[in-house]
Amino acid sequence: MEESANSSGSSDLEKEEVLDRMLTRLALTDDPKLETVLPKILPYSISSLSSGSPAIRKKVMEILTHLNKRVKHQKSIRLPVMELWKEYVEVGAALIVRNFCMIYIEMAFDRLTAEEKADMAPMLIANISKFPSQHQDILLRIVMKVIGECHKCQIDESIASKYKLGSDDDRGLFVEFCLLTVLYQPTSPSSGGEGTSPGLSVAQTNQVTGKLPLKGDELLSRKLGILNVIEALNLDPQLIYPLYLAATADSQELVIKRGEELLKKLASRVNLEDPKLINKLFLLLTGTVAGGSTPPESRINPVNPTFRLRLLSIFCRSITAANTFPLTLQCIFNCIFGSDSTSKLKQSGMEFTVWVFKHAVFDQLKLMGPVILSGITKFVDAHAASGSETSFWEMKSFAFQAVGLLAHRMPELFREKGEMAVRLFDALKAEDQSLRLTIQDALNALSLAYKGAPASILKDLEMLILQNSQAVQSEARFCAMRWATSLFDLQHCPSRFICMLGASDEKLDVRELALEGLHLTKDYDQDSNSESDLKYPKLNDMLNYTCSQHPKVLGSPDTREGSLLFPAKTYVAMIRFLLKLFNADYHRTLLTGDTSEFCSSFNTMFLLLEHALVYEGSVELHAIATKGLVTIGSRFPQIIASRYAGRMTWLRQFLGHISAETRECASRLMGIACSELSSSETSALISDLCSHLKGTELRRFESFHGEICALGYVVAQCRTGRPDSESLTLAAVAMEALGHIGLRGPLPLLFCDSNTAGVLTTLNERLSKLLCRDEVKAVQKIVISLGHVSYKETSLSLLNLALDLIFVLCRSKVEDVLFAAGEALSFIWGGVPITADKILKSDYISLSSSSNYLTGDVPLFSSTIDMNSMDIDDEDTRILVRDNICKKLFDGLLYSSRKEERCAGTIWLLSLTMYCGHHPKIQELLPEIQEAFSYLLGDTNELTQDLASQGMSIVYEIGNSAMKRDLVNALVGTLAGTSKRKKAIKLTEDSEVFQEGTSSQSPSGGKLSTYKELCNMANEMGQPDLIYKFMDLANYQASLNSKRGAAFGFSKIAKQAGEVLQPFVRSLVPRLVRYQYDPDKNVQDAMGHIWKFLVADPKKAVDEHFDDIVDDLLIQSGSRLWRSREASCLALADIIQGRRFSQVNICVPSCSDLLLHWTLCHTLFLGHPRR
């Protein structure tokens, strides 16, 4: 130990002597030569401070003091930077040594050239995270200063490569200090910021500035240099994103521009769902929360308003930001209610609130929702100050959106109180027009929140909705109607009454919503299936509530002079809805057998309908009111008869009404009511009606029409009467009256000039002329009446006369007339699913009116044929009549060369199949019917195709299992192109071979469509054999038509056939894929129908049958038919998109095949350039 101490003592003495010599040498060295001796003296002197000897330290301090005096003011004297840095980073260096090295390194860097600074600066931040924190700040400030001086314009790649930030800690420290520097803004004492910048704490400000604050160009240069260096380093986007954001909110235009440029490059690579990044951004926006344990000098201030706006726009794109509780809540309240908040910040804060309510998870939302709602309510109630800017209205808009979203996400916040509903309805009436749409959306969402609310709340809401349904503002009325339809179910009488009031609103959207609430729109009227599932309120309850709202309903309308109790459209909707309730209650009573409560409502219903028939009512209202009385009469004729038997005079007022429907309903009512009259009273009524018809005075058409119509119904009740009229419309009504009589039994013979003859024999010539007229509705009535007259006719000659009159229409192009003729043929055939009572004592119009031939599925009328309803002697006559009908259809019309005759035959065969499908003769004819429909699938007339496919569907439904199997096979064969036509059409010279518009013109300019025209064309060209080419094209067109028709038939059968079709899927899928790309749009649509019904998952089906599909497409790409080639190429191009080569390679196994296919495609393009 003693030797060691002696050795240490001698070493200190030696060191002291060396330092003394250095001091002497330093003193003797002139200033110009001082720079050469410093690399040896300065590092050695500083390293000697690690010695514990006071003498050595004293000597070192003498050297450093001497040196400082000489170099402090002589900037030209350079200091040994590299030697000092090596001393600093030496392992085991004492802290005092490092401290003094740091002092002189900082001094030395100021004396370097720009190139030397740029070259050495990266060295200072390598492994910077391992240095003491005080030294980190000094080194980073040195580097920032160098960056500002050397890289403000750009950074050389060689220099950028030297910035080696090996560890995450090094990168984090460097980027964080860069961010602090970019955030730094010089502050003046008058700003009240106590020397701190927005986004920084006092401590952070000191870190950036050191001893002197940064100002002007120096600060600008540093920020621009930082942005250039950070870009060159290519760091993690999550790390540098806040830095670029800070640059875009800077006060210097150049920094903002550069920041925007870099941010655009980075935006697509940033993950805004990174919690670490979002927390960092929240800290920038809100700063350090007040009241915590953080020391005052470490509390971070929020960034400036411009930066906060930028951050809020980012938060509105991040789900994580919406779920970062409690930072999300602090952000919202700081922006909306902060003392330093601006109007734009408040607006953006509201927008972020909407985002939070939309995307926050429920666990987070239930913590924030009530707190935020209390603040938002203040904005909902706030009123704009005079001259307030547009942002105020935008803030309110976001506030209403937030309420709507919160109501959707957390309905329990609103369900126990109705205050928010009142507040929003009041706002809807008071706020500016620009806000009303937003308030409407909020109200619509809020209505669902009140579902399941307490009864007392719902009662208050009923009154609120009723009040607003009559508001001046249309938006309030619309929302009231929306609440009435969405908040309450169909059985709620007050809400349905509100819908009735809304049916007469001046705004179309309010009216439509009201009718939807009453289920009176066209969609509901056409959907009979959904109607049976609806739960309506009881008729008695609805009438009682209506009377409570308008007691005058219970008053008796003695005359028609009074005023309407409700607006006409409201009254119409009310009656239509009440009739739905009537039918629902009627079917309910059939199940229960209890009619007491139901019938007790009839008197009120009668009073309401009679009030609607005052003169002030509209034509539509009178029609629906009388129809309502007929509807009740169809179910309870005795009640109607007993009420109106003594009021025939009142009913006769409506026989001259301008509405034909009203006149007919009044006539029906008179027919029902006369059953309660005595024979003498009935006879007097008939005589009175006839006397008016025979009068010579000039009278209105409507009066004639109504009286003839009434006479028909009254006589039908008594089985007597005779028509007489000149006008077509009156003649049609007269025939309709005869038809009504004929429904009860054969018409009696007429006595004329001592001879007797049947009615049809007498009227045959006139009816033939009438049926050739253009008035469609009148012709329809006459045709249907022929069926009614023949319904119970027993004379074969008269039945054949009726058939001849109907068959005259076989070339008619008016679809409605053909459908009416089909209905008439069904009545003549027998077994229709309708009774005379149904026709005469209800609102029945016709069989065809209840059949949706073209726009939906044709309903099959189930019928239990009562053969006893006809006389036994009549059966032989009917057999002959049915044979005549079959002969006309199967031997004439269905296979005619004229397309209009084929169309007529198709409609009539479809009518017979649909209305009389369960008749034994129809069942016997099903194979022939199937063959006919299969043949007609290829017709050139689209209507014929569609109806034939409908017929196939019905045949499938009523046929046995063998029939169903044959039908499926036939349809599959048609689609696959393997089936052949069993029956050919004999061509005449005017037979149409091509559809009009599908062929070209002859050289003379004429059209080419008929067989005669094609033959002439072939002869003119000197090539008679060309006609065979033309017919080949025509046959191909027919095959396309067959496929299209089969497709529609197949799609309907697919609904019923189920698993029967599964064996055919593999063979059909490739063809269906190709046909969906056919150039003919009609073929595409038809095949799309099959695809929809046959394939549940299209993508899966294509994947499973990919090989078969591609094989078919490749084969058809070389077809001689251009349609097949084009469809195959289009399908092939589409089907291989997005697939891997390994999938396609299965179908193209070799390069030679691939080359062959490529050559084929190239040839196709050359051969058909337009395609």
Q: Give 3-state DSSP helix, strand, coil % of the chain, rounded to 5.
A: 70, 0, 30
Q: What is the pLDDT of residue 1092?
A: 67
CB atoms within 10 A of CB 988: 12
Range with the poorest average pLDDT among 84-98, 340-354, 852-866, 867-881? 852-866
Please give the Cα distance from 203 to 215 (Å, whole number): 18
Q: What is the residue type of 1135? A: I
Please give the Cα distance from 19 to 31 (Å, whole number): 19
Main-chain phi, psi angles of 239, to 5 degrees:
-80, -40
Please give the Cα distance from 266 to 1117 (Å, whole number): 48
Q: Is the per-residue pLDDT at 1155 higher than 60? A: no
Please give the Cα distance from 582 to 597 (Å, whole number): 12
Q: Using alpha carbons only, give the angle 222, 228, 230 rounded to the nearest 5 degrees.
A: 100
* Residue 278: pLDDT band with limits 50, 70, 90: very high
Q: What is the residue type of 145? A: K
Q: What is the pLDDT of residue 1026?
A: 42
SS3 assignment, position 756: strand
Tokens of 1120: 């001689």
Q: What is the pLDDT of residues 776-812, one digit of tens each?
A: 888 888 999 999 988 888 888 889 998 999 999 998 8
- Name, in order, each residue with C-beta under 8 angstroms of 1166's C-beta and a sequence gap of 6 or more: none
Task: Report, as an integer, the average pLDDT of 456-475.
Answer: 91
**Please, are residues 491 and 537 in contact by the beta-carbon 8 Å criterion?**
yes
Q: What is the pLDDT of residue 937?
A: 73
Q: Is the per-residue pLDDT at 626 higher than 90? A: yes
Q: Is the per-residue pLDDT at 845 higher than 50? A: yes
Q: What is the pLDDT of residue 623?
A: 92
Q: Is the per-residue pLDDT at 114 higher than 80? A: yes
**Please, are residues 400 and 440 in contact by the beta-carbon 8 Å criterion?**
no
- Name, in order, each residue with C-beta under 8 angstroms of 1050's C-beta and a sequence gap of 6 or more: 949, 971, 972, 975, 1089, 1090, 1093, 1094
Q: What is the pLDDT of residue 753?
A: 55
**Please, are residues 858 and 914 in contact by the beta-carbon 8 Å criterion?**
yes
Q: Which residue has the higher pLDDT, 751 or 1060?
A: 751
pLDDT exceeding 90 applies to what percent of the chain?
18
Please tell me which of 93-102, 274-283, 837-846 the model is most confident about, judged by mean pLDDT. Answer: 274-283
Task: Report, as an integer, the average pLDDT of 80-96.
Answer: 85
SS3 assignment, position 1118: coil
> How big is the chain, counted in residues?
1171
Angle between helices 133-150 and 95-109 (to 10 degrees): 10
DSSP alpha helices (H): ranges in 959-1025? 961-976, 1011-1020
Label residues 908-923 b or e (16+ Cβ within 10 Å = b).
bbbbbbbbbbbbebbe
Q: Is the per-residue pLDDT at 994 higher than 50? A: no
Q: Which residue has the higher pLDDT, 860 or 174?
A: 174
Range with the poorest average pLDDT among 140-149, 316-325, 704-713? 704-713
Give how far the C-alpha of residue 742 lies from the chain's centroid of Cα atoms, to the nearest Å. Answer: 53
Q: Is the per-residue pLDDT at 1104 higher than 50? A: yes
Burial class of residue 710, CB neighbours in 10 A (0-12, 13-18, 19+): buried
CB atoms within 10 A of CB 102: 20
Q: Is the per-residue pLDDT at 532 higher than 80? A: no
Q: What is the pLDDT of residue 4?
A: 41
CB atoms within 10 A of CB 614: 18
- Name, in order, each residue with C-beta under 8 angstroms of 179's C-beta and a sequence gap of 6 or more: 242, 243, 246
Task: Report, as an integer, the average pLDDT of 924-933.
Answer: 85
Q: What is the pLDDT of residue 132?
A: 87
Please give the Cα distance from 611 to 551 (Å, whole number): 12
Please give the Cα distance from 516 to 523 (Å, whole number): 9
Q: What is the pLDDT of residues 540-588, one digit of tens each?
A: 999 999 999 999 888 877 677 778 889 999 999 999 999 999 988 888 8
Burial class of residue 266, CB neighbours in 10 A (0-12, 13-18, 19+): middle
**Please, are residues 783 and 817 in contact by the beta-carbon 8 Å criterion?**
yes
Task: Report, as an integer, the average pLDDT of 1067-1080.
Answer: 78
Q: What is the pLDDT of residues 952-989, one digit of tens each?
A: 778 877 877 777 777 666 666 655 555 554 454 444 44
Nearest Cα to 411, choosing from 400, 422, 419, 403?
Answer: 403
Tokens of 1046: 């089969």
Tell me which DSSP letter residue 27 carries.
H
Please tell me which of 316-330, 681-695, 1030-1044 the model is most confident about, judged by mean pLDDT. Answer: 316-330
In 3-68, beta strands by DSSP E: none
First-residue to last-residue Cα distance in the chain: 106
Q: Which residue has the higher pLDDT, 823 or 1036?
A: 823
Q: Is the per-residue pLDDT at 1050 higher than 70? A: no
- Name, in order, each residue with C-beta under 8 angstroms of 658's C-beta and a sequence gap of 6 or more: 619, 702
Nearest Cα to 244, choosing from 170, 183, 319?
Answer: 183
Please give the Cα distance from 1030 to 668 (Å, whole number): 59
**Please, are residues 502 and 465 in contact by the beta-carbon 8 Å criterion?**
no
Q: What is the pLDDT of residue 721?
A: 34
Please give the Cα distance from 651 to 348 (Å, whole number): 69
Main-chain phi, psi angles of 658, to 5 degrees:
-70, -15
Do you find a cis peptide bond into 326, omega within 30 degrees of 0? yes
Nearest Cα to 797, choosing from 771, 769, 762, 824?
Answer: 762
Q: Is the per-residue pLDDT at 1009 higher than 60? A: no
- Helix and strand tally (H, E) in the chain? 59, 2
* Residue 627: pLDDT band with limits 50, 70, 90: very high
Q: What is the pLDDT of residue 465?
A: 93
Please give the Cα distance from 76 to 98 (Å, whole number): 25
Angle between helices 1065-1075 and 961-976 (to 10 degrees): 40
Please give the Cα distance from 184 to 197 (Å, whole number): 6
Please tell me which of 259-263, 792-796, 848-852, 1145-1149 the model is most confident about, judged by mean pLDDT. Answer: 259-263
Tokens of 422: 């009142």
Please give the Cα distance from 413 to 406 (Å, whole number): 8
* Residue 261: pLDDT band with limits 50, 70, 90: very high
Q: What is the pLDDT of residue 1150?
A: 44
Please give the Cα distance from 884 to 802 (Å, whole number): 12
Task: Report, as an integer, the average pLDDT of 1058-1063.
Answer: 56
Q: What is the pLDDT of residue 760?
A: 83
Tell me which DSSP letter residue 771 carries.
T
Which H/E stretch holds residue 425?
helix 419-430
Q: What is the pLDDT of residue 713?
A: 84
Nearest Cα to 57, choosing from 106, 26, 104, 97?
Answer: 97
Q: What is the pLDDT of residue 727?
A: 54
Q: What is the pLDDT of residue 853?
A: 41
> CA-CA distances (angstroms) from residue 1144 to 452, 1130, 1162?
57, 16, 19
Q: With helix as H, strand as E and coil as C, how does 341-359 read?
A: CCHHHHHHHHHHHHHHHHH
Please give the Cα distance from 952 to 933 (Å, whole number): 6
- Name, in order, each residue with C-beta under 8 angstroms of 739's C-beta and a sequence gap of 6 or more: 784, 785, 786, 787, 788, 789
Q: What is the mean pLDDT of the chain?
A: 79
Q: Is the per-residue pLDDT at 227 higher than 50? A: yes
Burial class of residue 362, CB neighbours in 10 A (0-12, 13-18, 19+): exposed
Please give the Cα distance from 394 to 1013 (Å, whole number): 73
HSE value, Cβ hemisphere, 13 Å, CA-based, for 199? 30
Q: What is the pLDDT of residues 436-447, one digit of tens each?
A: 888 888 888 888
Q: What is the pLDDT of residue 525?
A: 52
SS3 assignment, position 751: strand
Which residue(s) pair with 757 in the sheet? 750
Task: Report, as an integer, the average pLDDT of 384-408.
Answer: 74
Tokens of 486: 């969405």
Q: Is the per-residue pLDDT at 1154 higher than 80? A: no
The pairs formed by 681-688 with CB atoms below 8 angstroms and a separation of 24 or more are 682/714, 682/717, 682/718, 685/648, 685/714, 686/711, 686/714, 686/715, 686/718, 686/720, 686/721
Burial class of residue 4, CB neighbours in 10 A (0-12, 13-18, 19+): exposed
Q: Is the per-residue pLDDT at 1037 higher than 50? A: no
Q: What is the pLDDT of residue 312?
A: 92
Q: Is the per-residue pLDDT at 866 higher than 80? A: no
Label residues 638-655 b or e (16+ Cβ within 10 Å = b).
ebbbebbbeebebbbebb
Q: Is the per-residue pLDDT at 1059 higher than 70? A: no
Q: Which residue has the tokens 């005669």?
A: 1012
Q: Is the per-residue pLDDT at 1003 higher than 50? A: no
